[in-house]
Structure 1
């Protein structure tokens, strides 16, 4: 995972190693087990765990007997020891979550993204929402380690700037990281939304298994987060995952076309032109698309043949795109999520897996698992908050280097 800018860390490398081991233990862990799993000396483990107890990161969870000898004290993560805030800036909605140290969503809030407001006004609205959420949750602000922002690309991670996302009007070269940090008086980092979604599954999923996966993000636009060997793939500038140029077709007898024909706005336009939905006066804003997309899915659920055909073609396009990505990356899992996915998940997940595995283009010698995100609509915001915790608590080899 990636370090953010000016975020606090919990201490040295050994401290991060031990805290990470405690975090990943489902039922708690003793000091003896920590020494065995980390390779650190019992004295080092004892010193570090004492420090973590004093600082409120872990708690004493009682003792257990393990045969002959002194009972062992079990250590567990103190979920309320620290918190992080995640913000997902989507062209349709803004989601804000408060995440505890155990990756539980303590509180969340969703507000509509202002379509006509200046970016600066929207940032002020985000800051106000964060303040309200923290106050309502009754959390001590000194325990909040920072804010992660997930935004549509392209972004400049180093500068903390949203460059010019095609579906988010008025956001050219907006320094959201620094402006939000000033408004909240907290450290802030910026990540691309699809990457943040992948981080949520990797970090907050609570497992250390070696994972190779695609996160298929179904929002106002389409994108993919990529996980290889338990690491999120970001690319040179942090903008990996754009699938706008990915083409599908031919294999199903239809002309080749961009995969983004499965975008909700495109499907809504098709439904209007084919009489499934009523025509709409003027251009469709993101909020209107959200409502009409729900009507399209409901029409398909009710048996409307035209609606079924439109969503069926979208399932084909998504399946073909996933076949190409899975073949390229040799992953064994696909996660689905994003603001629009819960609305259509029953329809899409009933079709996509079989179409992927039965595709004539499928070359992998193994099947892959298909899972909906455990975080629902909050996934990108949870991922953004997870980045803050990851930076603070994950052991990094570069921390061992001598710096001037």
Structure 2
């Protein structure tokens, strides 16, 4: 079959199976990205979640030696939640970032890529393919940009003309010489809204992100959250959408998918029930979300911090139960810290009555909870 005809058939089929945009590029090395990654790691910006081997990230043929092309896909996801429950005093709620709404996007994207690969194989039986989504070694954003799906904005996201930044990205290496598509020219212009509004100044202004300061990364860490970020995360349980919410390119965009089912009470959950939720309960309730991949510990820590953010006095009995009974020092310590933050001087007698029986790391949080309150606003 003529390669141009096959390319058009692949595009048409992609749209039939819920792929909102598709682009093609060569399997040549990403030399410019390699230089950026070397600098990125040297500055200490890396999150530690991504592939650490820069060669693997920038040389597609290390993953599939026969690769001649890369097919990049984008699937838009919803960014508006109808009938969202309100977070009110006495019934405070947290929130999951929009990329974690509905079924884990890794499953959604893999299903579409598998279907696309099967279609290509039906046309070219001996074709070789390799698909990647997020956890693959290649940079989804670099591939999407070179394949013409959009340009990388100052917020570090690929901005697609139809989807804005609200899209999942994935790619497929293939040993067919598809003609590459043209790249889209950067059009952020002089706009710096995302940089200016980033709560922790994690955006460095040129499309790069200091992951060590990014709330999305911080909410996924498992240890104690650094003091300077505790009142920055607000009631975010997983991820952060600020730099996308303020982007002018996202105005008026809200994509829907048949297999992305929104559950308002789960995506904006009550905070207090999270505090003592068992592993079984957590998996049953949140296990289908991408935001559950790190387990319940970071989510529970963030829920405790959110209650302190809200100064939710009604949650004190539950926080005390966690502080006294939870087997995990980090969770106990954060709970004692939150009690001090919420009650101030009124918490001193209670906190100090448990001081001598606690580990040193927890004791530090106890003292910090009583002393840090004056500096939080």
Q: Which has the higher helix share?
A: 2
Q: How does the TM-score come out when normalised to structure 1?
A: 0.24
Q: Which has the higher strand share?
A: 1
